[in-house]
């Protein structure tokens, strides 16, 4: 992509309404634009990141056997009256009437809808276990939306729902989802702690929240230091071992009951980005979803639900990955892999940059080429602000010497690389 035509409305000034760093940086980097309180448009750069995050979440849900569906944005009040949650949900649920005065609502979650689908089509235990997921927009009418996409009203969520024949199978599914979540966050480049959680309005008796460690986190997390080792070896680690470790957020942590002391207990700030629940037969019972067993009797399946805040994650990733100059994207979610910066405005530099741009794109490296007629200061600060992992810098002097400078955004390390080996060098760096 060439920056001269790309829509990247970066801001020099820090927007006054933004109180947290991810919100400030997303506005300054031209990733989002607020439409009204808690409702944002995703501009091209922001949408690229959102889709990268979404795709990693999707791949891991698929890998664990989740089947992707897409449920309606608008749900009927009847279904929520049937489950008994319609009146209790309160003002966070956005309600409306259609032209025939039927009550609708913008779905804040989908336990009712998925259980309704289940009961229509699935009648036998042989079809179990089943796990469905969707990645779709939700609306929760927060009283004070804030922190940009971290606490918006309209937000993108991955919500999964599982159906099992008995408790043991349900706990196995829960474990599999725990592993899937840990793997997902690892791929997103995040240090995440699963803490024991309250089950709240969803109900049930087994629940974990997932907190991204970031200095700006809203809650305090207390956890066994072994997490820091396990997290890096998630593919080899027994999930039961992880679930057995101590980890609590402030509302659940009681110092007098904590088995760990001193060095063994770590403390950090955390941002909640996921929440998983095993809630048994709460919805299957009340909505009368039944399967027939081999012996002819029928039971309500054991259920769980599993959320990841996909749009919120974009903010959380920035909270955990930034410096004074701007964002530092983990490679897995970077909107482009390379910022190509041409300096000096000479025809020769432009020609060589153009060739580098094409050669890199040809081998599948995504490049944002800053071909604007701006000075080095503006180009460097734009590149640092939007945080692409690698910068390739070429000016008239480098061109004369046949060298481009490569800067790693995260470490600040710089290397001079001969132009003729630039493509293979970048390919190596990126694999």
Provide the binding-site residues for a second copy, judged by CB under 8 A: 5-7, 9, 30, 33, 35-36, 39-44, 47, 50, 65, 67-76, 91-92, 94-96, 98-99, 102, 104, 106, 113, 116-117, 120-122, 127, 130, 132, 137, 139, 141, 143, 153-154
Tell me the closest approach of the beta carbon of residue 39 to a second copy, in angstroms: 5
**DSSP state letters, 204-253:** -SEEEEEEEE-TT-SEEEEEETHHHHHGGGTTTS-HHHHHHS-EEETTT-
Q: Which CB atom, from 143 or from 294, has the smaller least distance to a second copy?
A: 143
CA distance to 2, 177, 358, 410, 430, per residue, from 427 (Å): 20, 33, 14, 18, 5
Q: How far is CA 385 from the centre of its chain?
A: 20
Tell me the closest approach of the beta carbon of residue 58 to a second copy, in angstroms: 10
Tell me the closest approach of the beta carbon of residue 342 to a second copy, in angstroms: 18
Tell me the closest approach of the beta carbon of residue 233 to a second copy, in angstroms: 28
Q: Which CB atom, from 99 or from 254, has the smaller least distance to a second copy?
A: 99
Q: Residue 114, class by beta-carbon neighbours within 10 Å (0-12 exposed, 13-18 middle, 19+ buried)?
A: buried
Please tell me the distance from the alpha carbon of residue 222 to that of residue 211, in angstroms, as a whole number: 11
Kindly state the helix (H) or strand (E) to which residue 423 belongs, with its residue range: helix 422-430
Tell me the closest approach of the beta carbon of residue 218 to a second copy, in angstroms: 22
> Angle at the Cα of 48 (from 185 to 305), degrees rounded to 5?
40
Q: Which CB atom, from 66 or from 342, has the smaller least distance to a second copy?
A: 66
Tell me the closest approach of the beta carbon of residue 352 to a second copy, in angstroms: 24
Q: Which of helix, strand or coil describes residue 53?
A: helix
Please tell me the distance from the alpha carbon of residue 76 to that of residue 74, in angstroms, as a whole number: 7
Q: Which CB atom, from 122 or from 430, has the smaller least distance to a second copy?
A: 122
Please tell me the distance from the alpha carbon of residue 245 to that of residue 142, in angstroms, as a whole number: 33
Tell me the closest approach of the beta carbon of residue 5 to a second copy, in angstroms: 7
Q: Which CB atom, from 100 or from 254, has the smaller least distance to a second copy?
A: 100
Is-contact 77 106, C-beta < 8 A?
Answer: no
Q: Which CB atom, from 288 or from 416, has the smaller least distance to a second copy?
A: 288
Is-contact 394 343, C-beta < 8 A?
Answer: yes
Q: Which CB atom, from 79 or from 356, has the smaller least distance to a second copy?
A: 79
User: 354: alpha, beta or left, given left = phi > 0 and alpha = psi -120 to 50?
Assistant: alpha
What the block records as the tokens of 212 is 């991204």
């Amino acid at each position: 992509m060439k920056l001269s035509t790309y829509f990247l409305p970066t801001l020099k000034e820090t927007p006054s309404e933004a109180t947290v760093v991810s919100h400030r940086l997303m506005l300054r980097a031209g990733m989002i634009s607020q439409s009204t309180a808690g409702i944002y448009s995703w501009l091209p750069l922001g949408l690229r990141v959102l889709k990268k995050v979404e795709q990693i979440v999707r791949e891991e849900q698929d890998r664990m056997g989740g089947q992707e569906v897409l449920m309606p944005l608008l749900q009927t009040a009847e279904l929520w009256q049937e489950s008994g949650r319609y009146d209790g949900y309160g003002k966070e649920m956005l309600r409306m009437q259609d032209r025939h005065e039927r009550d609708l609502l913008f779905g804040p979650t989908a336990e009712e809808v998925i259980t309704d689908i289940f009961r229509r089509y699935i009648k036998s235990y042989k079809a179990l276990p089943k796990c469905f997921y969707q990645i779709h927009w939700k609306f929760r009418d927060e009283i004070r939306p804030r922190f940009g996409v971290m606490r918006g009203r309209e937000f993108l969520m991955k919500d999964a729902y599982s159906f099992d024949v008995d408790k043991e199978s349900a706990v196995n599914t829960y474990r599999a989802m725990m592993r899937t979540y840990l793997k997902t966050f690892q791929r997103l480049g995040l240090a995440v702690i699963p803490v024991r959680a309250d089950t709240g309005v969803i109900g049930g008796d087994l629940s974990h929240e997932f907190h991204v460690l970031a200095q700006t986190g809203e809650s305090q997390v207390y956890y066994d230091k072994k997490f820091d080792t396990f997290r890096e070896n998630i593919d080899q680690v027994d999930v039961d071992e992880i679930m057995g470790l101590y980890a609590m957020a402030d509302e659940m942590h009681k110092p007098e009951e904590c088995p760990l002391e001193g060095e063994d207990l770590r403390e950090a700030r955390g941002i909640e980005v996921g929440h998983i629940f095993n809630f048994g037969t709460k919805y299957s019972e009340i909505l009368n979803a039944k399967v027939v067993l081999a012996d002819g009797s029928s039971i309500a399946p054991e259920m769980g639900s599993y959320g990841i805040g996909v749009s919120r994650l974009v903010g959380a990733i920035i909270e955990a990955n930034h410096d004074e100059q701007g964002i530092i994207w983990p490679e897995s979610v970077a909107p482009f892999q390379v910022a190509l910066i041409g300096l000096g405005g000479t025809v020769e530099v432009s020609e060589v940059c153009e060739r580098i741009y094409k050669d890199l794109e040809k081998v599948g490296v995504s490049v944002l080429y800053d071909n604007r007629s701006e000075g080095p200061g503006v180009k460097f600060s734009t590149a640092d602000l939007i945080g692409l992992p690698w910068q390739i810098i070429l000016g008239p002097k480098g061109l004369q010497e046949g060298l481009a400078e490569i800067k790693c955004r995260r470490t600040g390390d710089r290397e001079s690389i001969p132009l003729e080996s630039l493509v293979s060098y970048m390919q190596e760096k990126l694999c």
